[in-house]
Amino acid sequence: MTNFLNEIFFFFQRLSWLSVLDIGLVTLIFFLLLRFMRGTQAMVLLRGAISLVVLLAVINLIVELPAFNWLVTTVLPALIVVIPVIFAPEIRKGLERIGRAGTFVPTSDNKVDEQIQNSISVIVEATTRLSARKHGALIVLQRYDNLDEYKQTGVRLNALNSPEMLLQIFYPNTPLHDGAVFVDKMKILAAACVLPLSNSGILSTTPERQMGTRHRAALGISEQTDAIAVVVSEETGSVSIAHAGKMIRRLDPDRLGNILNAFFHPEKVGTTFFERHFPFLFRSED
């Protein structure tokens, strides 16, 4: 016990503010990496890899096995090459999120702010009416990322954004009702667009596994871009919103409007610098 206390005392004697900063930075990096991978298949793979490494280390310490030790020391360096290949999608996604965090945000413009506010009101009214009628819908709100590759999969409209136009587009069995609509301020840019489906592990571990194609597409576009996707369920009429690979479900009109305002006008709802620039750290999963 005395030796143990001496070791602790010796450790704190050598601890300096630079050491604390060093440990803090390493901890932050590991924390961010784990946050990036949470809810993805990478987390399952990482858990399996760590378990395997720990098991091999324990066996190597308990029993002297020269051939087994040689195998372990030979295989482990190869993992340095294998791991980036396995985790390539998650690494790309993490770097994209870091890149978006540094995106230049234009200074406030009253005219643009008014257009965004009007567009939010239109979307809230349209989704409320679509929900009441149980007409399925998928509306993607463009932010800073370029979405041209997704718009090109549908029909270009460049029409004025209005509740009546959105209701007409998503009316069952009409030519444009299947697919996503892209909205930028007061313009409906394109309709009947095809979106990438989500491959997130959250779909197999939460109630979201029962979601249909629209919800999976909403999650998919939110994983690959900074866009916000609003979904109306055709089966239940419930309204959901997806952003940064997370989905908030069962929204009423007031809450939907507040969330959209929080994304486009964070300074008006009291969000912090980190919530504005690193939203994936604070996103709800309910």
Q: What is the pLDDT of residue 275?
A: 47
Between CA 61 and CA 206 the distance in angstroms is 39
Supply the angle between the helices 110-133 and 253-264 in degrees, to the nearest 10: 150
Alpha carbon 24 to chain centroid, angstroms: 25
- pTM of the model as a whole: 0.64
Is the separation of the CB atoms in 68 and 59 below 8 Å?
Answer: yes
HSE toward the beta carbon, residue 260, CA cutoff 13 A? 30
Residue 52 amino acid letter: L
Instruction: Please name the residue that has the structure tokens 């299947």.
Output: 178
Q: Which residue ranges form the domains of the chain, and what is each CATH number?
A: 2-101 (no CATH), 110-281 (3.40.1700.10)
- Cross-strand bridge partners of residue 156: 190
Ordered per-residue pLDDT tens for the chain, 286 residues: 676 677 777 666 777 778 788 888 888 888 877 776 665 556 666 677 677 777 777 777 777 777 777 777 777 777 667 766 766 666 666 666 666 554 444 445 677 788 889 999 999 999 999 999 999 999 999 988 888 889 999 999 999 999 999 999 999 999 999 999 999 988 999 999 999 988 765 555 555 555 788 999 999 999 888 899 999 999 999 999 999 888 898 899 999 999 999 888 755 544 444 444 444 444 444 4
Handedness of CA 111, 118, 257, 105 (dihedral sign): negative
Q: Which helix (H) or strand (E) element contains residue 123? A: helix 110-133
- pLDDT (tens digit, 9 = 90+) per residue, 160-201? 999 999 999 999 999 999 999 999 988 999 999 999 988 765
